Each structure stands twice: as C-alpha cells, then as structure tokens.
C-alpha cells in the first residue's frame, strides 16, 4: 500500500506540474496576443488620428513642417523665441520645434527626417551649455512608440545596441508603457504646442527667481570631456544641413546666472570650438548683459517668461537681419 501511495503522490505531482505548465503557456499566449493586438490598435490610432501635445508637434515636424527658418531644441528653445514676431518682421515662415527635455539624439533624428523632405533656409539649433558633455538622452524614451516604424537612426538610439533593450522594444506593451496615458491626457487638456507656431510662453512667476552666481574661488574645477555620441550627433546635423543647402546656427539663450570666466570650461567652450572648426555662427547669449539684472524677464534660472521671450526674440531678430536673413 505504501508503494502504491508513493506512486499515486508522484503521479499527482506530475499532473500538477503539467497543469501549471499549461496555465503558464496559456498566460504567455494570452499576453502575446494582447501585445500584438494592442500594437495594432495603437498604430492604427496613430495613423488615423491627430495626436495633440508633444506628440502632435513631433508628428507635425515628421510629416508637415515647411518653414524657411526652423528652430530646434528643448524647452529653452520652445520658451525663448517667438516665431510669430519673426514672421511679422521678417516676412518669412518660422517654426519653433522645441520639445521639452530633449537632447542631441532627438535633434539629430528630427533634422534628418525634416531635411529629407524640406529645405529650410536656416536651422537654428538651440543648445544648453552641457549638451556636449552630458550622458543623458533626456526624454528620448517617449519616442519608443516610433520604434521600427521606418526611422533606422531613431531605432539605433533607442535600442542602444543592447540585446535586452531590443527584445523589450519588440513589445508594444513596453513601447507604449507610461505613454498611452499621455496620449489620452492630451485629448482632454490642450497644451497649445502648435497654437503659436510651436512657441509656448511661460508665465511671470509669483516670486521672481534669484540670480545664481558661481563665484571665483580657488577650488579645483573638474573638466568633463566631450561625449563622443553627442559630438557625432552634432556632426550628423551639420552634414545633413550642408547636404540640404541649409545654413546652421547654434544658439544658447539667456540664463539668470552669473558665470565668471574661470568657470567657462567644458560645456559651451566645446560647442564654441566645434563651431569655430566648422565655420558655424555661434551665439552664446547665456550671459547677455541685457538680461543679467532683470529677474522679471525670467520664469526660473534657465527659462525666460513670455515677456523676456519677446525681448529676446527682437534682439535675435536683429542678428538675423544683420546676416541678411
């Protein structure tokens, strides 16, 4: 009897394992089916609907933008230069392609995509001081939804030549994870990214920012080397502009910070060196004297408010006019 009981328990154990394996297999099949169907639904939705918010602006730049002067950058671009003022005064079409918290990888992808079908007279790349030395790719992950939709350069930046990342990006649930709600939210709340030719004015804050000041001290300053990928992105943008016959300018907009000469290392100096080597006009207005004593022009230490943006746009317009644009 004991032997039969042992055999019976063994059989039950094997049957339990088989049931668990079947259940696991069914779960995997179900999740895979949901993943595939979800991907079809999201891609159908993207093809058949206008997606508002940041994605609406990205879609517009991918497919439709055709301006004589194109501005490209992150939030410091979007909040600092008003195309409507430039269009009125210069008589040329202008679009502000600034997208919050993006980096050179994004600018590289968008430049290539835009210049394949449009040839603006001027591309103004609005950078931040650390854009050539940072390792961050900002919010590039929001572009996961475009993975394997035909942009090989974007695919390379997203999968980072990492096998695990490539496998994850093959999943629709992974690509749209945390971003589906953003797309849904944009249908209920308008962020007006396209209302003013891509420009979004920041409000005057209730408490004006205090100016940050990096004093001249005797502490040793660590110099961060150029990030090779960021430099290659900049090389790619320059090459694309030259092939399209588009002039390239690089600009750093005003900041509410006092940076002494001793601290002008790395960062913007690398950008300056790159521009000098490649004969690119470079305008570092981060320390522009017309803004250094005016907190009322700023939203915070890095961003102009709407009033400051209007003043800076008119100063920038003078540069354009001087260069015959």
Q: 316 Cβ partners below 8 Å, 6+ apart?
A: 81, 86, 251
170-211 pLDDT, tens digit each? 887 777 776 655 666 655 555 566 779 999 999 999 999 999
Identify the pLDDT of residue 294. Answer: 96
* Per-residue DSSP letter, 256: S
Residue 247: which H helix or E strand, with range? strand 247-252
Identify the pLDDT of residue 112. Answer: 97
Burial class (CB in 10 A: 0-12, 13-18, 19+), 319: middle
Q: How far apart are CA 167 and CA 44, in angstroms?
A: 22
Q: 206 Cβ partners below 8 Å, 6+ apart?
A: none
Dmax (CA) for the chain in angstroms is 102
Identify the pLDDT of residue 325. Answer: 87
260-270 average pLDDT score: 66
Q: How far apart are CA 280 and CA 249, in angstroms?
A: 6
pTM for this model (two decimals): 0.83
SS3 content of the chain, % helix, strand, coil (to 5): 55, 10, 35
71-85 pLDDT, tens digit each? 999 999 999 999 999
Identify the pLDDT of residue 119. Answer: 94
């Amino acid at each position: 009897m004991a032997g039969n009981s042992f055999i019976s328990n063994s059989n039950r154990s094997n049957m339990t394992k088989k049931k668990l394996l079947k259940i696991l297999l069914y779960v995997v099949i179900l999740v895979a089916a949901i993943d595939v169907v979800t991907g079809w639904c999201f891609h159908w939705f993207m093809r058949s609907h206008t997606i508002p918010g940041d994605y609406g602006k990205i879609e517009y730049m991918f497919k439709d933008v055709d301006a004589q002067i194109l501005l490209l950058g992150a939030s410091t671009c979007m909040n600092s230069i008003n195309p409507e003022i430039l269009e009125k005064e210069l008589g040329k079409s202008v679009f502000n392609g600034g997208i919050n918290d993006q980096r050179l990888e994004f600018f590289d992808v968008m430049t290539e995509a835009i210049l394949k079908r449009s040839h603006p007279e001027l591309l103004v790349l609005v950078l931040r001081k650390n854009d050539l030395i940072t390792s961050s790719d900002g919010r590039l992950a929001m572009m996961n939804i475009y993975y394997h939709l035909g942009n090989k350069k974007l695919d390379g930046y997203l999968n980072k030549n990492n096998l695990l990342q490539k496998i994850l990006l093959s999943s629709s649930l992974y690509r749209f994870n945390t971003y589906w709600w953003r797309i849904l939210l944009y249908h209920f709340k308008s962020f007006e990214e396209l209302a003013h030719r891509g420009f979004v004015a920041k409000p005057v804050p209730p408490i004006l920012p205090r100016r940050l000041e990096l004093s001249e001290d005797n502490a040793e300053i660590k110099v961060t080397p150029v990030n090779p990928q960021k430099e290659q992105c900049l090389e790619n943008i320059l090459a694309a502009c030259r092939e399209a016959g588009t002039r390239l300018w690089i600009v750093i907009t005003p900041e509410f910070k006092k940076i002494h000469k001793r601290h002008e290392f790395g960062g913007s100096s690398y950008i300056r060196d790159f521009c000098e080597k490649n004969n690119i006009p470079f305008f570092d207005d981060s320390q522009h004297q017309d803004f250094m004593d005016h907190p009322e022009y700023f939203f915070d230490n890095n961003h102009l408010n709407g009033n400051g943006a209007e003043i800076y746009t008119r100063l920038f317009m003078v540069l354009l006019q001087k260069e015959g644009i």
